[in-house]
Structure 1
Amino acid sequence: MTSDIGDLGQDFLQPHQAEQVILQGHRRIDSTFPKDRAHGKFPVLLLSKSLPSGERRDRDWLVWTQSKTALFCLSCRLFRTNALQRSHLCRPDGYSGDNLWKKLYDRVPSHENSTEHYECYVEWRETEARLRAQTSVNALLIEDIATEAEKWRDILTRIRDAILFLGERGSALRGSSHLIGGRNNGNFLSLLELLSRHDPLLRVHLGDVRKSQRLHQRMQVHYLSYDIQNEFIELCSRHVITKILEERAGAKYYTVMVDATPDASHVEQTTFILRFMRLQSDKRAHQVEERFLASVDCHGKTGEVIATLICDTLAEHGIPLIECRGQAYDNGRNMSGECKGAQSRILAKNPYALYAPCAAHTLNLAGVDTAQCCPRAISFFGIVQKCYNIFSSSTQRWEISNEYVANSLHTLSDTRWSARIDVIKPFAANLPGLRQALRKAQGLNLTAESRRDIDGIL
């Protein structure tokens, strides 16, 4: 598509506008021209000039614009920046039929021989040559920007893969140092240093970062900081949650499972899990899916607070409560209570969200309460735990236990009753060997308390 120089209304054009006109090209000279205001004919002979050799050469800088029915000097219109003594041929309106065509016999040669026209003509041809060869400043800048963008895209891909590798395995990313080459700079930076041995792009990037750290010069960007690591993890988390929500929306109906436990910072972490039926990829059968949705801080223990937290979390992720068909919690009264429990409050909002208590939790509580009512069970498990304490409190005694007992001893689980079977197996299978280990431990240099415990166990 060719451009029409008459469509540009500015007095002076910007460089990018001039380059755009040159790249698109201009309209060819029409074969017919309108008469001027005195009904004079257009001097077609002026579109070319005679050379001393007798040949005629086109004045390629003269162009006609149909939008304004006027004649222009293309080179001066594009590059003329001096407003003084500016010819009609390089003004926004051009030289039209409102003027007399016969005056062009004097103005065209005079304009052609001017210094300003010569400079604009040379600049036009040089710019055209650069643009055609794709070596203009703008083209070079665009190419440099594209190359730089590709480089950073490749670096970010490697950083993302390293974070995903560590995140999938639950490994810590950070260390006590953030320096490249530091001894305690963490798994993330160490992994990138390992990859850089075989990756030239990453090797150059880490070298630049290390140099800036050594000289205490702040780089504009390097994407290795703690904030960037957290941002990558957050973006990956959003992507996973979006996928989970899409699966849930496809299944429509779901069950919500909620449980809470305090973390190392003594904050009650409430975990949300969605359970739904999803059609398999072959579309032949459905499959039960359980997806971890979120972990939310909970600052209250009452059923009302927990029910509000559940409803707010579902609403935050755009999950309608009315599509919930099941609730699954433990047997705590704040969760399972028929009047003030979380399940009853949610059931009041959605009568289809039936509550199903955790069977494993129920069985665990039954086992704990039953054992606490039996003095012999209390004594039995007390001896088992005391035996483990005796051998695990000393490396020398632990070696003795491994010498006589085939299976390693374990401590009792306070939360999962079914896990205690693994604690009993060494006693059931190696009772004579355990007795010998205790007698050999009696010959060691023991404290009075440890000697009394071993005697009591035997």
Structure 2
Amino acid sequence: MQFPKNAKGRSFSLAYYNQRSKSGIVYRRNWLCCSPTLNVAYCEPCWVFGDRTQGSLNWVNGFNDWGHISRSMTKHESSNNHLSACLIYNKWKSDQVLDTDLDKTLKFKTKYWIKVLERVINVILTLAKNNVSFRGDNESLYDGDHNRGNFLNIIELLSIYDPVLKELLSKDKKCVKYLSPTIQNEIINLFSQ
């Protein structure tokens, strides 16, 4: 891979990714990253988890003094800020706590809302196929025993037997439920197209 050269003709080299210890063992610098587009090298753990209030920010914002990179890498590798960032980074990579929890929550919510929409669509299709009116005098689930209309009455009836709809109707008044006349009309229009 070709890296851009600076004014002195120097550039980043793939050889920088490997380090030879005093005992002759070659190991990979897993922390080192290079952006050919920006023409800088940086430390991924420090970029993600580093303390930006102390130490040199060269390896966070990008390092491009190619004439002094070897000495700077050695100094950076032994800094407390780098070591702390690497510990946090490795813990994060091994546990995947942030991504895994967020992903599980997102998948759970997505499945829940798909189930809600399936039920709402089925009620809408049933009413539409049978040419039955949807709305009543008062289209609120929270205003007593007024005529809510067939759509909301069927949703309410199904909620007695269906835990998904039961949970939906138990949500706070201000929460999204996908039961409004606007949503009903949108779904009808989508199916008509």
* TM-score of the aligned structures, taking structure 2 as reference length: 0.68
Amino acid in the other structure paired with 1:111: H
Displacement, 1:201? 0.6
- Structure 2 alignment gaps of length 5 or more: 5-13
Equivalent residue number for residue 101 of structure 2:
140
SS at match of 2:132: coil
Describe how 1:39-438 pairs up with structure 2 within 5 A.
47-48=20-21, 58=27, 60-61=29-30, 63=32, 67=36, 73-80=43-50, 82=52, 86=56, 92-94=62-64, 96=66, 98-99=67-68, 104=71, 110-131=75-96, 135-136=97-98, 138-180=99-141, 182=145, 184-208=147-171, 212=172, 217-219=173-175, 221-237=176-192, 239=193
Question: Counterpart of 1:117 in structure 2: which amino acid?
Answer: H
Matches of 1:94 and 1:236 in 2, distance apart? 58
Is contact 1:48-1:59 (8 Å) kept?
Answer: no
Query: Aligned partners of 2:112 and 2:33: how far apart in 1?
Result: 47
Deviations 1:115-149 (A, max 9, x none): 21222222221222233xxx32x443343233222
> Which SS does the other structure have where 2:56 is aligned?
coil
Tell me the alpha carbon deviations over residues 197-228 of structure 1, each in whole angstroms, 9 at most, x when there is no partner: 221111221232xxx4xxxx433x21222232
Rate the CA distance shift 1:57–1:151 in 2: closer, same or farther, 3 A. same
Q: Which amino acid aligns with 1:206?
A: L
Give the C-alpha shift of residue 86 in structure 1: 1.8
> TM-score of the superposition, structure 1-length normalised?
0.32
Residue type at the aligned position of 2:21: S
The CA deviation string for residues 326-373 of structure 1, in whole angstroms up to 9 with x for no partner, is xxxxxxxxxxxxxxxxxxxxxxxxxxxxxxxxxxxxxxxxxxxxxxxx
Q: Separation in 2 of the partners of 1:184 and 1:66? A: 65
Contact 1:71 1:89 in 2 (8 A): yes
Q: What is the letter of the counterpart of residue 185 of structure 1?
A: R
Query: Cα distance 1:70–1:161, how it changes in 2: closer, same or farther (>3 A)?
Result: closer
Structure 1 gaps of 5+ residues are 8-28, 34-43, 240-458
For the 8 Å contact 1:112–1:118, the answer to whether it is kept is yes
Asked if the contact 2:35/2:41 (under 8 Å) is kept, the reply is: no
Structure 1 Cα separation of the partners of residues 111 and 122 of structure 2: 17
C-alpha displacement of 1:66: 9.6
| Secondary structure class of the residue paired with 1:93 | coil
- Over alpha carbons, which structure has the higher Rg? 1
Deviation at 1:62, TM superposition (A): 6.1
**Would you identify which runs of 4 or more consecutive aligned residues in structure 1 move more than 6 Å?**
68-71
- Root-mean-square deviation (CA, aligned residues, Å) is 3.9
2:55 and 2:81 in contact (8 A); partners too: no
